[in-house]
Structure 1
Amino acid sequence: MKVLLDLFFTFAYLDLISIGGALAMVPEMERQVVTVHAWMSHQGFVDAIALGLLVPGPNMLHVLYIGNQVAGFLGALAAGLGMFGPTSFLLAGVASFAARPRPPLWIKHFHTACGPVTIGLMTAAAWSLGQNMAGDVFSIVICCLAALLTARRLLDPAGVVLLAAVLGAIRTIF
């Protein structure tokens, strides 16, 4: 029972500090999952993120995977409720203010402040996930190619992930 509460409150905490999207909280999630609670290794965490991004659906499915790895179905449920519950209730409350004909000015200021915070958090996420590929020229080239294809809108993110998976598989075979 304690592990289920730990999962719920850890992911509820992560949910409440997640500004900038799912991947922006990856460094803190990794710290909690790998270092603080030792629920999985760094490589297991990176694999969970990759798996969550590969399957169709929301890009936070790795949370359910992590919960499942820790405590089975109930762990996945606890982690999922923690990750999606608190901000859902918070968003419902803020939406009632934003739906007014003249929403409060603090909503506009908060929205403006989120841009730079999001950029910083996404940079930290990329750094955290990419630390183990230092010196691996192939991985760095794939990463740069993925960034270029995404920035130029030549491939959607799912296509980039699939292309990277194919190139990684070819590298493994040869």
Structure 2
Amino acid sequence: METVIIDNEIIKPSLADLIKASLYVGATAYGGLAMTAQLKRKFVEEKKWISEKDFLDALGFSQILPGATFVTLMAYMGYRINKIIGALIVPFFFILPTFFAIVMLSYGYFHFAGIPYVVKVFAGLGAMVVALLINAVFTVGKSVFPKLTFKYYKGFLIAAFVFASAFWLKIGMIYLVIAAGVLGFLFYYFTGEFEGVEEHKQTALKVNKSTSTLYVSLVKYGLLTTIIVAAISILLLFPQLGEIFVSFFKIGLFSFGGYSSLPLMQHETIDIHHWLTLKEFSDGIAMGQITPGPILITAAFIGFKVAGIIGATITTVAIFSPSIILIILLYELHGKITKLPTVKVFVKGILAGFIGLLIYITISLGVVSLNNWQTWLVFVLSAIALIKFKIDPLWIILSTIVVSLIIL
């Protein structure tokens, strides 16, 4: 185990300590962005394994990389604490509690979905999901467009273009994400509009020099080679499982943050492969909200529908792999990458495009889920609670279950 020196205080976390801390935050991390406070409290304030400045640096870097932001953040902190081993075990055990939870919920859903009270609960949760998505549009939109002024007209144009292309032209989501990034480059690069990605000064980190740079590089690229060979083997030996892996790896590679992955997930699983219905997709999002951890765990629900526990495992590994691989590859370069104007404007365009995609998926799920006055009532109450009163989504989910059993 390496000796890590942070802010002149020597910390020697064992693998067991890392695992216990990761399991704890993975089992208790509810509330989307609210997870930031929980992670900071455990790793910065309580354990003192990473400084506050380094934590903020990690958070900023995680936000410009594709994949699940908080899994990327966990991989970053794990790498900083214990190099490649830390980058693997910290996100793994962070995801593990919510993986088990979603698998159990998926089993109950697909085996008992015909029971009347289960139907009622998921009808209400489907309406609540539409409210969650609208809240996501406002929350994410406020970060991308701080004010509804002409100053942000370029971003509005990108969002409108992506929405129209998805809604009317049915263009593939991944192509739209790339197009949004290209438009971001064309709109912002030549005018010098590079703001929008927060930068933090990285503090010094000293490590025991017993491990050579050459050794770390060999381990790093040897590990990645092993992952690639294993993925190709799955593709060749088990075509259906390989297809699942490739689909969800693409989603993880081309999405930024939790909710931004949902349009890509919908397109890949419903429009292309027809693995589940739009109603089932909505219910999967609801279950992703019920469980702690990242919303991308909805992938496990879809994988369970397609190929049981093996499918759930493959989709989970596939969708979170890009986050971990990119951290392992780019960690040493992150200080330079975050300052590149080309990267900033490309990500800026992608984030604007995701607003258009979120609006598209909100309308799509709204058409399916809001089909009577009861579901409309649940939707309106949930939206007011989220947007007006800022109530924690967990309490809204529990309230929705109770209300659904009464009025539906």
Q: Give TM-score scaled by structure 1 length.
A: 0.81
Select the residue among 319, 324, 343 that pairs with 1:88: 324
Q: Residues 386 and 392 of structure 2 are in contact (CA less than 8 Å); yes or no, is this contact kept in structure 1?
A: yes
- Per the alignment, residue 81 of structure 2 pairs with none
2:340 alignment partner AA? P
* Pick aligned residue for 2:246 from 9, 13, 25: 9
Higher relative contact order (Cα pairs below 8 Å, separated by 6+ residues): 2
1:129 aligned residue = 365
Opposite residue 253 of structure 2, the aligned amino acid is: L
Structure 1's unaligned 5+ residue stretches are none
Question: Would the aligned equivalents of 1:27 and 1:128 in 2 still touch at CA under 8 Å?
Answer: no
| 2:352 counterpart of 1:116 | yes
User: What is the rounded CA distance, in whole Å, between the counterparts of 1:60 and 1:107 in structure 2?
Assistant: 24
Query: Deviation at 1:91?
Result: 4.6
TM-score by length of 2: 0.38
Match of 2:380 in 1: 144
1:24-173 equivalences in 2 (<5 Å): 24-100=260-336, 103-172=339-408
Q: Could you list the per-position Cα deviations for residues 101-153 of structure 1 after superposition, in whole angstroms to 9, with x for gaps in the alignment? A: 98222343244334422322221221222221344233233223322222234
- Residue aligning to 1:18: 255
Whole-angstrom CA distance in 2 between matches of 1:93 and 1:52: 29
Point out the more displaced range, 54-63 or 85-94: 85-94
Query: Structure 1 vs Structure 2: percent identity of aligned residues?
Result: 25
Give distance in 1, aligned partners of 2:390 and 2:404: 20
User: Which SS does the other structure have where 2:358 is aligned?
Assistant: helix
Q: CA RMSD in A?
A: 2.5
Which is further off, 97-106 or 135-144?
97-106
Structure 1 contact 150–156 (Cα < 8 Å) conserved: yes
Query: Residues 106 and 95 (structure 1 numbering): CA distance in 2 closer, same or farther, change over 3 Å?
Result: farther
Does the 8 Å contact 2:338/2:344 carry over to 1? no
Larger radius of gyration: 2
Letter in 2 for 1:90: L
Contact 1:23 1:125 in 2 (8 A): no
Q: Which moved more, 1:120-129 or 1:139-148?
A: 139-148
Cα pair distance change 1:151/1:105, threshold 3 Å: same
Q: Is the 8 A contact 1:18 1:24 kept in 2?
A: yes
Cα distance in 2 for partners of 1:140, 1:96 equals 50
Aligned residue pair count: 171
- The one-letter code matched in structure 1 to 2:301 is Y
User: Which is further off, 67-76 or 108-117?
Assistant: 108-117
1:88 aligned partner, one-letter code: I
Call closer, same or farther: CA 1:96–1:148 in 2, change over 3 Å: farther
Query: In 2, are the aligned partners of 1:26 and 1:128 still within 8 Å (CA)?
Result: no
Separation in structure 1 between the aligned mates of residue 319 and residue 355 of structure 2, nearest angstrom: 21
Q: Which whole-Å CA distance do the structure 2 matches of 1:115 and 1:38 have between them?
A: 27
Counterpart-to-counterpart distance in 2, 1:116 and 1:57 = 25
Q: Which runs of 5+ in 2 are unaligned?
A: 1-237
- Post-superposition CA distance 1:35-79 (Å, at most 9, x none): 422222222222222112112222122211211221122211211
Change in Cα spacing, 1:95 to 1:113, as seen in structure 2 (3 Å) is: farther
